[in-house]
Amino acid sequence: MKKLGVWMLLLSMVTLAACGGNETDAGGSASASSTGGEKIKIKYWYAWGDKAEEAKQHLVKEFNESQDRIEVTAEYQGTYDDLHAKVQAAFAAKDAPAVSDLEIASTGVFARYGMLTELTSFAERDAAEVNMDDFYPGLMGNAYVDGKLYGLPFMRSTPILYKNVTMLKEAGLDPSGPKTWAELEEYGRVLKEKGKNAMTMPADIWYYEALVAQSGGQVLSADGKSAAFNSPEGVAPVEFWKKLANEKLIKIPVGDEAGATADKDWANQLSAFKFGSTAGVAAAIEISEGNGFEMETSFMPANKSYGVPTGGCQLVMTSALTPEQQDAAWEFIKFMTTKEATTYQSKHTGYLPTRVSALESEELQTLYKEHPQYKVAVDQLEYARPRPMETAYPEVAKIVKEAIEKAILDPKVAPQEAMDKAAEQANALLAK
């Protein structure tokens, strides 16, 4: 709750800053229109390094070289959480970037606290050029807040299952599986007998959302005003994970390095499976080839059905910009979400192609034939759903994650008990 207090204090500062008009130098220079030819300079802040950073820097360079009116400076800001905190602080200080990555579940918070520029009028003005109907429908759910457009899909993802096929074959297991929770448990028992670990995974809220969907449930009520994760469908994933962890069929590390530990165990062939974003496909292929094992991807195993949340980010325009800065930011956002840019970043990383035209392009169709690992997430979109975007959800997600970890690690805590207590805390936040 101390974290929530800090969060709300910062948001109140942001709200006051948002009411301060367009005097800010947010996002870059606002003087270009009066200098007769000087470029309009704006800042773009982004999250994540490695392949994602390479793709973003490449596209920014292409944009800057494609015209001589606007210059974008791209700056790395860490994880999504790091980026969000820095944008909030910079906004309060009237020095926010003009354009930023924004993790989809946080769009509601930023929009409702006045930190974002609504994009509806821009999209309508340039309807033929932007072609909103070309964006994959399954990825648009988090682009709108209260019926208004605030972001364009950029590097979007779903969680998928990464498999070490070599380990599975050596254990006598069918590499096309596991396709269900029950099969995952069976595979875990066989691998344990062979002295191997089935999976190392953090108790990540994104993966939990997937397993709730697979069980036929919802994390929040339909109106978003109360918790639904303490229902039988919401408790089932926690019970499943606790059972597998207690029987040492999977490992669930905790702490800031939990995700990195899971990645390392899989890369070093200590675990046969890992859950991960489709954004990691290109890197996973390189790792498997470098470490001498065969790798495939598949849907996350089903319970009652398949199901996953979408994830990743969209590009947003901060508020408190001058009209000139807004136009420059919009031109940049349009460029970064074109068919060509989408095709490039999807091929370079593994992120989903956000445009239907990119998905149908010869370049990506050829890639899918050569490396079918890339196409799994596209096919899995049939079972995808948006993430909750209630203003309180970022804090609710932290509460749920802590409850899951406590239920799994503490033998005295039953999953239902942990989730009921988390629901009480969540309801207090959601009711505000």
- CATH number of the domain enclosing 246: 3.40.190.10
* pLDDT of 13 above 80: no
Let me know whether 169 and 259 are in one domain: yes
Asked if residue 188 is part of any domain, the answer here is yes
What is the rounded CA–CA span in Å between residue 279 and residue 352?
8
Across 25-134, where does the E strand assignment appear? 40-46, 70-76, 99-103
CA R_g for the chain = 22
- Say how many CA atoms lie within 13 Å of 35 toward its Cβ: 11
The verdict on 252 and 326 lying in the same domain is no
> How many domains, in total, are found in the chain?
2
Q: Give 346's pLDDT tier (boundaries 50, 70, 90).
A: very high
pLDDT tens sequence across 283-292: 999 999 999 9
Check pLDDT > 90 for residue 1.
no
**407 and 269 in a common domain:** yes
Kindly state whether residue 169 falls inside one of the protein's structural domains: yes
Q: Which residues pair with 277 in a beta bridge?
A: 159
Instruction: Tell me the CA distances in angstroms from 237 to 252, 275, 405, one per residue in order.
Output: 13, 14, 12
Domain identity same for 198 and 290: yes
Measured in degrees and rounded to the nearest 5, phi and psi for residue 392 equal -85, -5
Reported as a single tens digit per residue, the pLDDT across 70-113 is 999 999 999 999 999 999 999 999 999 999 999 998 999 999 99
Instruction: Identify whether residues 272 and 148 lie together within a single domain.
Output: no
Any bridge partners for residue 385, and if so which? 309
User: Is the per-residue pLDDT at 170 higher than 80?
Assistant: yes
Domain for residue 421, yes or no? Answer: yes
Q: Let me know whether 246 and 340 are in one domain.
A: no
Given a contact cutoff of 8 angstroms between Cβ atoms, the answer to whether 157 and 279 are in contact is yes
- Whether residue 78 sits in one domain with residue 116: yes
The verdict on residue 354 lying in a domain is: yes
> Is the pTM here over 0.95, yes or no?
no
Domain that holds residue 237: 159-309+392-430
What is residue 116's three-state secondary structure? Answer: strand
pLDDT tens readout for residues 45-79: 999 988 999 999 999 999 999 999 999 999 999 99
- At residue 36, the pLDDT reads 54
The verdict on 171 and 269 lying in the same domain is yes
Last residue of a domain, one of 370, 385, 400: 385
**How is residue 274 written in tokens?**
């890992």
140 or 422, which is more confident? Answer: 422
In a domain, 203, yes or no: yes
Domain co-membership, 96 together with 35: yes
| Helix (H/G/I), strand (E/B), else coil: 316 | strand
pLDDT of residue 50: 87
Check whether 117 has a pLDDT greater than 80. Answer: yes
**Is the peptide bond preceding residue 178 cis, with omega within 30 degrees of 0?**
yes
